[in-house]
Structure 1
Amino acid sequence: MPNGALCGWRLPIPKFNINIRTQSRISDTVPVHSDDHTALRIELARFVGELLKDHADLIWVDEDWQIDVSDETGLILYVLNITAMKTAATASIP
């Protein structure tokens, strides 16, 4: 039985933080509780999808975003990098 359920007690589910880092700022962290690293990575991907949907205009201002998951000690475990850039064909377009 996982997490001590056989003995009638449960270990606390580990807490992680999703952090958003851009060239201009580091945002507040978003707490996530998970005892499964696969589920944690899926949660990170879903979070990034919602972040892009809700703030699509901002990626073009900062251009580089790092969204990472750290443990309670601050150790970064997983990173997703998002980069937005113009190409030579659109460099002169505001």
Structure 2
Amino acid sequence: MRYYINVKTAAQVEDTIQIDGVDSQALRRETACFVGELLRDQPIQVWLDREWRIEVTDERGLILYVMQISAADTAATRDPRATL
């Protein structure tokens, strides 16, 4: 079976990586490692996009797993002059 890890943000949807012939535990591990690498490699982008949805699908497009990542400033770090 072939699986895909897709990253969706407000600005993009793309098939990111393809994984072949793994069981469900290995697929979840691969997904978690991929997300960790994505955050390490693109630390600024998560703050710009604010919301990431990572979907793991099978070759038919059926969504098997979802991870959601969100980034937000708090009142302690927000610029009081900035508009919402």
Q: TM-score, normalised by structure 2?
A: 0.89
Deviation string for 1:7-52 (max 9, x for gaps)?
A: xxxxxxx100000001111123311113310000000000000000
Give, in angstroms, the shift of residue 88 of structure 1: 1.1
In structure 1, list runs of 5 or more residues that go unmatched.
1-13
Q: Which amino acid aligns with 2:25?
A: T
- Counterpart check, 1:66 vs 2:53: yes
1:76 to 63, 69, 84: 63
Greater radius of gyration (CA): 1
Aligned length: 81
Aligned Cα root-mean-square deviation (Å): 1.5
Runs of 4+ in 1 over 4 A off after TM superposition: none
- Which range moved further: 43-52 or 21-30? 21-30
Q: TM-score, normalised by structure 1?
A: 0.80
Q: Which amino acid aligns with 1:83?
A: S
RCO greater where, 1 or 2, for CA within 8 Å and sep 6 or more?
A: 2
- Counterpart check, 1:32 vs 2:19: yes
Identity %: 46
Aligned residue number for residue 6 of structure 1: none
